[in-house]
Amino acid sequence: MTNAEIIELAHSNLINTYGCMPIAFARGHGAYLYDADGNRYLDFFSGLAVTSLGHGHPRVVRAIKEQAEKLTHACNVFHTEPMARLAARIGRAFGDGRVFFANSGAEANEAALKLARRWGHGNGGRFEFISTLGSFHGRTFGTLSATGQEKYHLGFQPLVPGFKLVPYDDVRAVESAIDDKTCAIMVEPIQGEGGVVTPRPDYLGRLRELCDRAKILLIVDEVQTGMGRTGRLFGYQHAGIKPDIITLAKALGGGVPIGAMVAKAELASALAPGTHGSTFGGNPIACAAALAVFDALEEDGVVANAAEVGGYLIGRLREIAKSCPNVREVRGAGMIIGVVLNHEVKPVVEACFSERLVVNGTADYVLRLLPPLVLTRAEADAGLAIIERALHNAAPGSS
């Protein structure tokens, strides 16, 4: 089918929740995507921080094929080797963690909220959460209630009770929001959807101290920042702290849907048999793909590349910004980068697409770059040249 035929078929049959770009991708290889008409695009988006090893990574493809030939599904009333091995791998990376598998970021966060609330009920009847303005934690009712962006709430009220929202990167606000009902704080190490908002370096550390003092849980949402995206395996590692619970999804499965909630071992008993579950959670193909992702991250130097090439991208973008009065700030870490504009980001995104560079706009004014962590310097330079032109051409007054 051609681009036009696919788009027409999609428009006639899908519920229109995404406002899609008029492109139908058919295949991918490394940092490149190909549309159904055969046009090649350089990918600085990774399907929203998912295909972090690039498209068609040999380790992931092999793992999926081999597992598909053995067993595609067994359900959680039984054990499977990929699920057991992946739980051990994630638990070890976190440090004596215990894992619940889901299928998406929202579900991983929902599991974290449920564990924390159940833990809170058993620890002094605590049930309230504190999360931050500008955050994004998912679209289920629970995670939507934790999400600090009103535009996502509109039309869905009443939300789930028991959530307090405070400004991001504001320790005092959290401190004053904590009371004897609080069971947990949920926070992103960098607010991705909110505009790649990067907090002060001591933010997570000070939240950790507050949680320790109040004897409540710190939940760090690593759905977008996890699996090497920031140049460390997990975003919280930059702060030198250990959360009580983290959540993973997106890049965990290298393109296959999977989510995971990881809790300190001593919290695991808060969820007993029958208290939570998911039919597809821990699917063998998804777990096999995730094990291949861990192999690549740990054995192929991918996380180091994210730090190195990501640092290069940020440095070059800051150079470029000097000649672009429409750029307010370049921020981020590793390969999660935001170029903050003083005008709407849409024309910059469109200009990049017209030169076949896939980028993303978020929070209206922020150009968000989420390239594959395996990006080479040459690919980085090719993308930067397009971004530089797009920024110049989109500057108000230019034409």
Ligand X SMILES: Cc1ncc(COP(=O)(O)O)c(C=O)c1O
- The least CB distance from residue 247 to ligand X, in Å, is 7
| 190 or 395: CB nearest ligand X | 190
**In this structure, which amino acid lies at residue 364?**
D
| 249 or 256: CB nearest ligand X | 249
Instruction: Output DSSP code: residue 194.
Output: T
Task: Give backbone dihedrals phi and psi of 277, rounded to 5 degrees, phi first.
Answer: 180, 175
Beta-sheet pairing, 182-187 with 217-221: parallel
Token pair 């998406």 is found at 104
> Catalytic residue numbers?
136, 221, 250
Q: Is the dihedral of CA 193, 364, 11, 2 positive or negative?
A: negative
- The least CB distance from residue 49 to ligand X, in Å, is 7
State the Cα–Cα distance between residues 188 and 171, nearest whole angstrom. Answer: 14
| 132 or 326: CB nearest ligand X | 132
| 143 or 326: CB nearest ligand X | 143
Q: Among residues 338, 336, 333, 352, which one has the least CA distance to residue 392?
A: 352
| 51 or 104: CB nearest ligand X | 104
- The least CB distance from residue 344 to ligand X, in Å, is 21
State the Cα–Cα distance between residues 203 and 182, nearest whole angstrom. Answer: 19
* Surface-to-core class of residue 56, CB atoms within 10 Å of its CB (0-12 exposed, 13-18 middle, 19+ buried): middle
- Spatial contact of 207 and 240, defined as CB atoms under 8 Å apart: no
State the Cα–Cα distance between residues 399 and 389, nearest whole angstrom. Answer: 12
Residues forming contacts to ligand X in the complex (CB under 6 A) are 48, 104-106, 109, 136-138, 188, 192-193, 221, 223-224, 249
Q: Among residues 56, 20, 109, which one has the least CA distance to residue 296?
A: 56
- The least CB distance from residue 229 to ligand X, in Å, is 10
